[in-house]
Amino acid sequence: MKRLLEEAKLKINASVEDIDYKSPRGIDRSVMMSLSSCDWIKKYQNVILTGPTGAGKTFLACALAQKACLQGYRAFYIRAPKFYYQLTMAKADGSYSRIMYKLNKTHLLVIDDLGLAPMTDSERRDLLEVIEDRNAHASALITSQLPVEHWHKNKGGRFQSEQVAGLDRN
């Protein structure tokens, strides 16, 4: 378990037991308890957490990823800007296949702060390729300040509704 937690590279040492349900953030205890069972990972489903800055999205994402690791799942946390940068660099240095293989072996991929900055066409394609490659055999947890219904309006270009549905299809 210790190795899984180290490899996950979680930004915050968070646990579902430490979630404050009394704060006015609107966190639903029953939803979090359901997610903390990790059944959604077992079923290869994806989760999207949205909310304003300070709502606790990163904490919740890391808490769920930690719970997944404790249940024996491989997780990997990365912020969206770093995710895009690493994929761009991997294409340039020839390690793209290796990175994609690593991402596909991870049971739970956590991408934090999606849509913080407008996405380029290349970033949108990369994100969709990663999600599609993982479809039906792995899960993703994505956090964003943007509500899902606004993803297609992201100023970097169009994010078509069927592509958004691909992230949240299960």
Per-residue pLDDT tens digits for 13-39: 989 898 887 877 778 888 989 999 999
Instruction: Enter the tokens of residue 149.
Output: 């219904």
pTM of the model: 0.87
For the chain, how many helices (H) and strands (E)?
A: 8, 4
Q: Report the Cα–Cα distance between both ends of the chain, in Å, rounded.
A: 28
Q: What is the CATH number of the domain that holds 43?
A: 3.40.50.300
Q: How many domains does the chain have?
A: 1
Domain that holds residue 45: 2-167
Confidence of residue 51 (pLDDT cuts 50, 70, 90): confident
Other C-beta atoms closer than 10 Å to the C-beta of 116 total 15
pLDDT bracket for residue 146 (50, 70, 90): confident
Instruction: Among 67-76, 82-91, 158-167, name the one with the lowest average pLDDT.
Output: 158-167
Q: What is the pLDDT of residues 113-140, one digit of tens each?
A: 998 888 888 998 999 999 999 888 999 9
